Structure 1
Amino acid sequence: MLKVGLVTIGNELLSGFTVDTNSSWIGQSLIESGARISWHLTVRDDFDQIKIALDSVPKYCKALLITGGLGPTHDDITQETIFEYYGIKPVFDEEYWKLLTSKMKLRGRTLPNINKNQAIVPETGKGNVIPNKIGSARGIHIFNNDIDVFVMPGVPKEMKNMMKHTVLPWIYNKTNSKIYVNTIRTTGIMESSLAEKVGDIIQSSENTEIAFLPQFTGVDIRIISSDRVNMEKAQKSINKRVGKKYIYGTDSDSLENVVGQMLLERNLTLSTAESCTGGLLGHRLTNTPGSSSYYLGGVNSYSNEMKINVINVKKTTLDKYGAVSKEVSIEMSRGVRDLLKSDLALSITGVAGPGGGTKKKPVGLVYITLIHNEVLKTKEFIFFKDRLINKKLSSQVALNMIRNYLLND
Structure 2
Amino acid sequence: MKAIKAEILSIGNELLAGITINTNAAYIAKQLHSIGIEVQRITVIPDQTEEILQALAGAQQRAQVVICTGGLGPTPDDITKQALCRFFDVPLEFEPTVFEDVQRFLNHRRISLNQANREQAVIPKCDLVLHNHRGTAPGLYFKRHNTHFFFLPGVPGEVRHLMQKDVLALLAEFYRLKPITTRLLRTTGIPESRLIDKIGDLLEQYRQFRLAFLPRFRGVDLRFTLPQDAEQERKTFEEFVASVKNRLQKYIFTEEEKELEEALGEILKGKGLTLSVAESFTGGLLGDLITNVPGSSAYFLGGAVTYSNASKMQLLGVKQQTLQTFGAVSQETVLEMARGVQNLFKSDCAIATTGIAGPGGATAQKPVGLCYIAARFKDKERVKKFQFGADRIMNKQRGAIAGLELLRRLILNIE
TM-score of Structure 1 vs Structure 2, range by shorter chain: over 0.9
Deviates more, 1:326-335 or 1:102-111: 102-111
Q: Tell me, what secondary structure is at the counterpart of 1:59?
A: helix
Instruction: Read off the aligned partner of 2:372 and give its amino acid letter.
Output: Y
* CA distance in 2: counterparts of 1:358 and 1:94, whole angstroms: 68
2:307 is matched with 302
Is residue 400 of structure 2 the alignment partner of residue 407 of structure 1?
no
Residue 93 of structure 1: how far off its partner (Å): 1.5
Q: Tell me, what secondary structure is at the counterpart of 2:261?
A: helix
- Cα 1:305–1:143 change in 2 (3 A) is same
- Whether contact under 8 Å (1:121, 1:129) holds in the other structure is no
Deviates more, 1:169-178 or 1:103-112: 103-112
Residue 371 of structure 1: how far off its partner (Å): 2.3
Residue 312 of structure 1: how far off its partner (Å): 1.0
- Cα 1:341–1:99 change in 2 (3 A) is closer
Deviates more, 1:175-184 or 1:141-150: 175-184
Is residue 396 of structure 2 the alignment partner of residue 395 of structure 1?
no
- Whether contact under 8 Å (1:184, 1:222) holds in the other structure is yes
Instruction: Read off the aligned partner of 2:168 and give its amino acid letter.
Output: L
* CA distance in 1: counterparts of 2:22 and 2:105, whole angstroms: 31
1:2 is matched with 4
- Cα 1:392–1:67 change in 2 (3 A) is same
Residue 217 of structure 1: how far off its partner (Å): 1.7
2:212 is matched with 211
* CA distance in 2: counterparts of 1:120 and 1:377, whole angstroms: 63
1:161 is matched with 161
Q: Which of 329, 332, 335 pairs up with 2:337?
A: 332
Q: Which of 369, 373, 376 pairs up with 1:371?
A: 376
Is residue 348 of structure 2 the alignment partner of residue 343 of structure 1?
yes
- Whether contact under 8 Å (2:376, 2:407) holds in the other structure is no
* CA distance in 1: counterparts of 2:25 and 2:8, whole angstroms: 8
Instruction: Read off the aligned partner of 2:287 and give its amino acid letter.
Output: G
* CA distance in 1: counterparts of 2:18 and 2:61, whole angstroms: 30
- TM (norm. structure 1) is 0.94
- Whether contact under 8 Å (1:269, 1:342) holds in the other structure is yes
* CA distance in 2: counterparts of 1:317 and 1:347, whole angstroms: 16
Instruction: Read off the aligned partner of 1:240 and give its amino acid letter.
Output: N
Q: Tell me, what secondary structure is at the counterpart of 2:144?
A: coil
Q: Which of 68, 71, 74 pairs up with 1:72?
A: 74
1:170 is matched with 170
* CA distance in 1: counterparts of 2:59 and 2:158, whole angstroms: 24
Identity, % of aligned positions:
38
Q: Tell me, what secondary structure is at the counterpart of 2:43?
A: strand
* CA distance in 1: counterparts of 2:170 and 2:149, whole angstroms: 12
Instruction: Read off the aligned partner of 1:131 and give its amino acid letter.
Output: H
* CA distance in 2: counterparts of 1:253 and 1:239, whole angstroms: 17
Instruction: Read off the aligned partner of 1:330 and give its amino acid letter.
Output: L
- Whether contact under 8 Å (1:4, 1:61) holds in the other structure is yes
* CA distance in 2: counterparts of 1:102 and 1:219, whole angstroms: 43
Residue 189 of structure 1: how far off its partner (Å): 0.9
- Whether contact under 8 Å (2:377, 2:407) holds in the other structure is no
Instruction: Read off the aligned partner of 2:329 and give its amino acid letter.
Output: V
* CA distance in 2: counterparts of 1:176 and 1:103, whole angstroms: 33
Is residue 239 of structure 2 the alignment partner of residue 238 of structure 1?
no
Residue 253 of structure 1: how far off its partner (Å): 1.9
2:191 is matched with 190
- Whether contact under 8 Å (2:183, 2:255) holds in the other structure is yes
Residue 306 of structure 1: how far off its partner (Å): 1.2
2:321 is matched with 316
- Whether contact under 8 Å (2:316, 2:340) holds in the other structure is yes
- Cα 1:66–1:231 change in 2 (3 A) is farther
Instruction: Read off the aligned partner of 1:198 and give its amino acid letter.
Output: I
* CA distance in 1: counterparts of 2:56 and 2:313, whole angstroms: 64
- Cα 1:59–1:268 change in 2 (3 A) is same
1:380 is matched with 385
Q: Which of 30, 46, 49 pairs up with 1:47?
A: 49
- Whether contact under 8 Å (1:264, 1:294) holds in the other structure is yes
Q: Report 1:250-265 matches (<5 A).
A: 250-265=255-270
Q: Which of 270, 282, 289 pairs up with 1:284?
A: 289
- Cα 1:172–1:237 change in 2 (3 A) is farther
Residue 31 of structure 1: how far off its partner (Å): 1.1
- Cα 1:207–1:405 change in 2 (3 A) is same
* CA distance in 2: counterparts of 1:89 and 1:267, whole angstroms: 61
- TM (norm. structure 2) is 0.93
Structure 1 gaps of 5+ residues are: none
- Whether contact under 8 Å (1:321, 1:328) holds in the other structure is yes
Deviates more, 1:225-234 or 1:320-329: 225-234
Deviates more, 1:256-265 or 1:185-194: 256-265
Q: Tell me, what secondary structure is at the counterpart of 2:386?
A: strand
Tell me the alpha carbon deviations over residues 94-121 of structure 1, each in whole angstroms, 9 at most, x when there is no partner.
Answer: 4533553465467554322233331124
Deviates more, 1:214-223 or 1:250-259: 250-259
Is residue 32 of structure 2 the alignment partner of residue 30 of structure 1?
yes
- Whether contact under 8 Å (1:208, 1:230) holds in the other structure is no
* CA distance in 2: counterparts of 1:407 and 1:251, whole angstroms: 19
Cα RMSD for the two superposed structures? 1.9
Q: Tell me, what secondary structure is at the counterpart of 1:310?
A: helix
1:361 is matched with 366
Aligned length: 406
